Structure 1
Amino acid sequence: MSDNTRGALFMAGSMAAFTLNDTAMKALTQEMPVFQAIFLRGILATLGLLMLGYLMKSLRWNLPRRDRIVILIRSLAELGATATFLTALVHMPLANLSAILQALPLAVTLAAAVFLKETIGWRRMAAIIVGFIGVLIIIRPGPDGFEIWSILGLISVAFVVVRDLSTRFLSREVPSVNVAIWAAISVTTMGGLVTATQGWSPVTGHQATLVVTAAFFLLFGYMFAVMVMRVGDISFIAPFRYTALLWAIALGWIVFGNFPDGLTLIGASLVVASGIFTLWRERLKKTRQLPARV
């Protein structure tokens, strides 16, 4: 399995985990303040990551100064992305907000070309643009499209671009679980500080179940999000972020009763097609590079 193929699988797994976490959090924040939900979920996710790191014998606290700076930047970007995304999620349908986030592959790929000097073939770029057109069909921007919550969603896109690109500058010796732990700690601390100023809401059994569910999927989302940015070419892996849209449409319909209309389904089809085409191009390229059998 090539680095690009592993990166694509990590990305798909990350999107599934994060969307399941988002579904639980959207249901939870209908009954509980947003930052209290972030705080409670973060405690469980952080403890789970610490336990995972201990079992994997991957916990390292004495990191080089350069890696500590990168982790700090990444953690701050994670914090900003979480705050803006979940605030918008409270007020928007899951599929709509997820559609806005699908601008990420184009943004990350272009940023990688500028800052990391990655080469982007015209076919890959065309596939990503087609996927982005699919996103525009879904969100249908217009005079009423970019309300404050949509703008928060776009701001979260910018934070995630910083988060993902900063990960590429980490040394390979830094365990992925360490990076995920610091991200979880930063977000949990933010949730706790805001909750301290807003007051505490009693937690019911149903809410506790949603917190545990969200933390479980967030744990895997954090891990995959770190791992995916450390292998393969961003220009190849980025389109697989579009799979989050499929999860969001399905879960939005099943859990919240928001069934997508025809244009949304057409846009989603373009998004999926772009990802499949990119994977096919990578396999074709790899096949051509294999030595002929004697």
Structure 2
Amino acid sequence: MSRLSPTAQGIVLMLGAIFLFSAMDATAKMLMQRYAPMQVVWARYAGMMLVVAIILAPRLGPLLRTRRVGLQLLRSGFLFAATLSFFTAISVMDIAAATAVMQVHPVILTLGAALLLREPLGPRRLFGIAAALTGALIVIRPGSDIFTLSALLPLLGGVFYASYALTTRFLGRDEPILTSFLYTAIIGTVAASLLTIPVWQPPAPSDTLIFLALGATGALGQFLLIRSLTLAEAGAVAPFGYAGVVFATVWGLVAFDEVPDGWTLVGALVIVGAGVYVWHRETRARASAAA
């Protein structure tokens, strides 16, 4: 690993993070066959909090200092809503289809940055946004027999995740990334702990290790993601996030006997293609601005 360039190391770590996130999603879907989605969300955050507390224990005091408490709350709330939306979605629909629709978040982020940060929004970016949303509609197919209101949950999750990424841009200007990571874990754990009380079901002994694995996998994936972004520029590793669609498809086939139909594959390709196109345009625009 040390022989690789920082960018190559970042790409490898990004792929590792995406694989772990997909494994976490598959584990969550398995648990939600027996437990409420909110309890599974709690396990995801509680495990994350445990790992964060162990890793950052010597630095907890300094990292807890923030000048943007309100923005930290808002950012963490967006991620919590995205997690709950997505976990609820995969409890009732194929994991590959839900993951594909969730991947609209990069182009929604582009739209949000244009509206809130006044970043330029030309016809090519508008085309990318329209194409991604069209791909999402192909997957969920409103008006068809497979469409239910729950099919909109991964799209809603994508909107929440884009909002989370947008607020992260604001915080990244004057807050350490580990401070934001710590607040995400704390706020998510507290919120999930309160909301899971009405639906709490004591885990069966055989499921306890699965709950622990869910939290640990999510936390390790988050750690690899942060490490990836510290080694390489975000623009260099971002396209590899779409590997999640491939990983989710494999998990669906292996663990749940879910075979994506032709329209789901077409919609996924449109979404990924639109995302890569927008990323390409963003990269060229930044390069031009720097020149």
- Shorter-normalised TM-score: what interval? 0.7 to 0.9
Counterpart position of 1:179: 180
Provide the TM-score with structure 2 as the length reference.
Answer: 0.77
Letter in 1 for 2:170: F
Over 3 Å counting, the alpha-carbon distance change for 1:99 and 1:273 in structure 2 is closer
User: How does the TM-score come out when normalised to structure 1?
Assistant: 0.77
Aligned-residue offset at 1:210: 2.0
Q: Matched residues, percent identical? A: 27
Partner of 2:263: 263
Contact 1:101 1:153 in 2 (8 A): yes
Candidates 21, 25, 34, aligned match of 2:24 = 21
Flag structure 1 segments of 5+ consecutive residues without an equivalent. Answer: none
Q: Is 1:30 the counterpart of 2:30 in the alignment?
A: no
CA drift of 1:127 comes to: 4.8
Tell me by how many angstroms 1:252 deviates: 0.8
Deviation at 1:47, TM superposition (A): 1.3
Q: CA separation in 2, counterparts of 1:79 and 1:99?
A: 19
Indicate the larger mover: 38-47 or 160-169. Answer: 38-47
Is the contact between residue 108 and residue 129 of structure 2 (CA under 8 Å) also seen in structure 1?
no
Q: What is the distance in 1 between the residues matched to 2:11 and 2:122?
A: 18
Determine the C-alpha separation between the residues in 1 that align with 2:7 and 2:237: 7
| Residue in structure 1 matched with residue 86 of structure 2 by the alignment | 85
Which amino acid in 1 is paired with 2:20? A
Equivalent residue number for residue 61 of structure 1:
64
Contact 2:253 2:259 in 1 (8 A): yes
Q: 1:104 to 1:288 in 2, by over 3 A?
A: closer
Give deviations 1:146-171, integer Å, cap 9, x for gaps.
42312333332332222111111114
8 A Cα contact 1:168 1:229, kept in partner:
no
Task: Write the mapping of 1:270-289 to structure 2, written as runs, cut at 5 A.
Answer: 270-274=270-274
C-alpha deviation, 1:109, in angstroms = 0.9
Change beyond 3 A, Cα 1:12–1:272: farther
2:194 corresponds to = 193
What is the alpha-carbon distance in structure 1 between the residues aligned to residue 80 and residue 275 of structure 2? 28
- For the residues of structure 1 that align with 2:59 and 2:228, how far apart are their CA atoms? 18
What is the CA–CA distance in structure 1 between the aligned matches of 2:57 and 2:125, rounded to whole Å?
40
| Residue pair 1:42, 1:188 contacting (<8 A) in 2 also | yes
Question: What CA RMSD, in Å, does the superposition of the two structures yield over aligned residues?
Answer: 4.1
Contact 2:14 2:237 survives alignment (8 Å): yes
Deviation at 1:191, TM superposition (A): 2.7
* Structure-1 residue corresponding to 2:98: 97
